Amino acid sequence: MERVMGKYPEWTEEQFEELINVLGEANAKKLLAGDLTVEFKEVAKVFFDKYGRRIPQGLLASVCDANRNFELTQPGLDYDAQYANRIMRLYDCLGVDTGITAKQLRIETERMLALIRGDSQIVNILNGVWLPVVMPPLTNDDLGTTLEMYLEGVDRSYTKTFSDRRFYNYRKGTLAGKVSVVDGTRHDSLVERMKQGPVMGIHFPNPLQGYSISADREQMKTLPKGFILSGMDVVIAMAMYPDVLACGWNTPGLDLAALSWQSAGASLGFWASDDELSFDFTGYLADAYDADSGGLLFLG
């Protein structure tokens, strides 16, 4: 490519030609003649694609294409009765009454959905599965202890939904005092809000399918406000929606990417099959798997 000498030596003839093509030759001539003016505006970056998956841009960490054979199905959430069913699942499996009614959860969900629909940069995330959740108030400062309690609730909810299946918590008894929030994931803001009372949000389980856990965390640097990287909310979502998130082999693995276990080199996650659900650690933070996904929680 030949470079153009003069005032703009860094430009090539090809770049000048591309610029004229963008403007249109007739418009370019009118601009030069002073018969036309233009107004420049920044193009709004779209963060999610037609599937509701985060578009990977400028990431150093590993990302691969999502395997579309591993997918989720959106549950019906049109009526108060459907919201009440999910809240009752949470109450039954945890024995915790958050005080949030079905109507309150529906209204808050509709408010947050309206915020998302009104923002062209993030609206595509709704092309994926979205799940209203209620995060119970934190009654213990230790996240590992709380996680142990939540996982017992997952066991009850999952086995009640699938009476012929079993839940295996391979980290049982090893979480207390060993779970922490990863810096930069914004998950600490959820923890602080949970210390004040119940928190309603919309959980997106697989917008980061094909991302390594390192990439899950890295992409938070550029994601708009309102989103946090999922951790504790994954477990609550599993308790409320086991029929959606763990219905069989073809559901994605779900990473608790915002959390570290024991050290900075390990995290945690769920993996489902046709006859069981398991919870375990993952030490492969740098590796991308096409069937695994981190989640996002929207708090508006």
Same domain, 169 and 31: no
Q: Which residues of 39-71 are buried (b: 16+ CB within 10 A; e: fewer)?
A: eeeeeeeebbbeebbbebeebebbbbebeeebb
Asked if residues 285 and 215 have their Cβ atoms less than 8 Å apart, the reply is no
Write out pLDDT tens, residues 220-254.
Answer: 999 999 999 999 999 999 999 999 999 999 999 99
Q: Quick check: is 71 in a domain? A: no
Same domain, 7 and 92: no
Same domain, 120 and 239: yes
Same domain, 165 and 278: yes
pLDDT at 6: 64
Q: Quick check: is 65 in a domain? A: no
Q: Quick check: is 74 in a domain? A: no
Same domain, 179 and 279: yes
Q: Are strands 253-255 and 292-294 parallel, antiparallel or unpaired?
A: parallel
- Residue 120's alpha-carbon distances to 43, 95, 117, 127, 153, in angstroms, are 11, 40, 7, 13, 37
Q: Is 78 left (phi over 0), alpha (psi -120 to 50) or beta?
A: alpha
Instruction: Tally Cβ neighbours within 10 Å of residue 92.
Output: 14
Same domain, 144 and 6: no
Number of domains in the chain: 2
Same domain, 223 and 133: yes
Q: Quick check: is 275 in a domain? A: yes
pLDDT at 41: 65
Same domain, 118 and 189: yes
Q: Find the domain containing 29 and state its range.
A: 1-40
Q: Quick check: is 192 in a domain? A: yes
Residue 86 is encoded by which pair of tokens? 């999910």
Q: Quick check: is 106 in a domain? A: yes
- Residue 30's alpha-carbon distances to 15, 21, 36, in angstroms, are 20, 14, 5
Residue 236 is encoded by which pair of tokens? 């609550």
Same domain, 33 and 160: no
pLDDT at 292: 98
Instruction: Tally Cβ neighbours within 10 Å of residue 247.
Output: 17
Same domain, 151 and 219: yes
Q: Quick check: is 207 in a domain? A: yes
Interhelix angle 232-240/143-161, nearest 10 degrees: 20
Rounded CA gap, 269 and 197, in Å? 25
Q: Quick check: is 284 in a domain? A: yes
Write out pLDDT tens, residues 28-41.
Answer: 787 788 777 877 66
Rounded CA gap, 177 and 174, in Å? 8
Rounded CA gap, 128 and 45, in Å? 19
Low-confidence ranges of the chain (pLDDT < 50): none
Same domain, 15 and 164: no
Same domain, 12 and 117: no
Percentage helix, strand, coil for the chain under 3-state DSSP, each rounded to 5: 35, 20, 45
pLDDT at 42: 63
